[in-house]
Structure 1
Amino acid sequence: MAVTLTTPNTLLGLYQPKGTVAKLASNIATVVLGTLLITLCAKINVPVWPVPVTMQGFAIAALAAAFGMRIGVATVALYLVEGALGLPVFATGGGLAYLVGPTGGFLLGFLVLAAVTGFAADRGASGKPLALFAAMLVGDALMFVLGFAWLALMAGQAGWIDQTNVLGSAFAKAVQPFIVWDILKMALAAVTVTGAWKLISKR
């Protein structure tokens, strides 16, 4: 467990090599490739302000469900580090300033989404569509809470927020429009992973 960082209940756990060095190399490669997938999904976006609609949430939920909590969180953490170092991995660029901008809370919330989804996957949810979908929704909801709290804290510096109704304005512009989108993304991620699990299990 300490070497593989995953469990037999995940898709990654089913295909781990036997050697210790090979397992470690496999885990590292998985994390790095995972950040590339998240980056690609970040570029699939509708550029609305202040928070663009992207496919990052789908990628993170699917990766965490397929790889488990520790690999999922490690992948998102490396992704955020890459962005903080200036690599253009986010929807519209990169850099430390991006992390403290309007989307900063949502980006950090991706860690929570990965943790909750991966936790459920490690305990056997990868083959249970409703259980996995429910876990993804919980993680996604917590991500929204963190993102909304972040926006509320920086509301005084945001010109797009109605200063006479800070909480209502932040919710209406940066949370409410994305709820349905995220439910659909979580559903797609759950169906994708559980479908892959069933296909692989039959083989």
Structure 2
Amino acid sequence: MKIRRIVLLAMFTALMAVMSLIQIPVYPIVFTLQTFMVILIALIFKPLDTFLIVFTYLVIGLIGIPVFSSGGGFQAFVSPTGGFLIGLLVSSLLISIFKSKTKVMLYDLIVIIIFGFVVLYMIGLPVLMMTIGMKFTDALIAFIPYYLWDFLKIIVAYAVYRALPEDLLKKIETSN
């Protein structure tokens, strides 16, 4: 692995941490820019690099460095946000695998909504419901503000991705 690639992956791992620490505190899960960054990473990078960035971020948090909105350590994975943390890894990988190669907007937005929203909530909500004793219908209703926030992050992440110069994306792609 080239040093340039290692630095690039480390930089985006650090950006993941920073974006998760930008928070609007609400119960039961704070609003962060973590999902925004995950979507952007998945759009910019190849699947392996996307996996390495998000996995490294999760491992850094798992060992106790407070990079998650809830801090760090194993307890973050068994807290109400634990399922969402695991969901970030799955969602980012699936977005990176299934995104269009030529920035087809409608296709990409459908991929992001399915994998960055539906799959993320399918993994995150059951853990949240188990940890705080919430019923499924109550969780669906309680999360309406989060859905709106996540759709906004999807739109902004895709707009940022579309605005990135093609030559920059090519440099990132060829950093292997």
Give unmatched runs, 5+ long, in structure 1: 1-22
For residues 81-126 of structure 1, the C-alpha deviation after alignment (integer angstroms, 9 at most, x for no partner) is 00011101011411110111000011111012211221134x505x
Secondary structure of residue in 2 paired with 1:37: helix
Q: 1:192 — aligned with what?
A: 160
Contact 2:43 2:95 in 1 (8 A): yes
Aligned-pair CA distance for 1:43: 1.4
Q: 2:140 — aligned with what?
A: 171
Task: Supply the RMSD in Å over aligned alpha carbons.
Answer: 1.9
Equivalents in 1 of 2:3, 2:106: separation in Å? 33
For residues 156-180 of structure 1, the C-alpha deviation after alignment (integer angstroms, 9 at most, x for no partner) is 4xxxx4xxxx22222233x322111
1:150 equivalent to 2:127? Answer: yes
Equivalents in 2 of 1:197, 1:117: separation in Å? 20
1:91 equivalent to 2:69? Answer: yes
Q: 1:115 — aligned with what?
A: 93
Query: Which one has the largest radius of gyration?
Result: 1
Aligned-pair CA distance for 1:79: 0.5
Aligned-pair CA distance for 1:73: 1.4
Out of 72, 76, 84, the position equivalent to 1:106 is: 84
Equivalents in 2 of 1:151, 1:53: separation in Å? 15
For residues 34-77 of structure 1, the C-alpha deviation after alignment (integer angstroms, 9 at most, x for no partner) is 11101111111111111111100111110111112111111111
Residue 106 of structure 2 aligns to which amino acid in structure 1? L
Contact 1:116 1:138 in 2 (8 A): no
Contact 1:105 1:148 in 2 (8 A): yes
Provide the identity percentage. 27
- Structure number with greater CO (CA < 8 Å, separation at least 6) is 2
1:30-41 aligned at under 5 Å gives the runs 30-41=8-19
Equivalents in 1 of 2:4, 2:152: separation in Å? 31
Aligned-pair CA distance for 1:199: 7.2
Out of 33, 36, 42, the position equivalent to 2:20 is: 42
Give unmatched runs, 5+ long, in structure 2: 170-176
Task: State the number of aligned residues.
Answer: 168
Alignment TM-score, normalising by the size of structure 2? 0.86
Aligned-pair CA distance for 1:155: 4.2
Contact 2:20 2:68 in 1 (8 A): yes
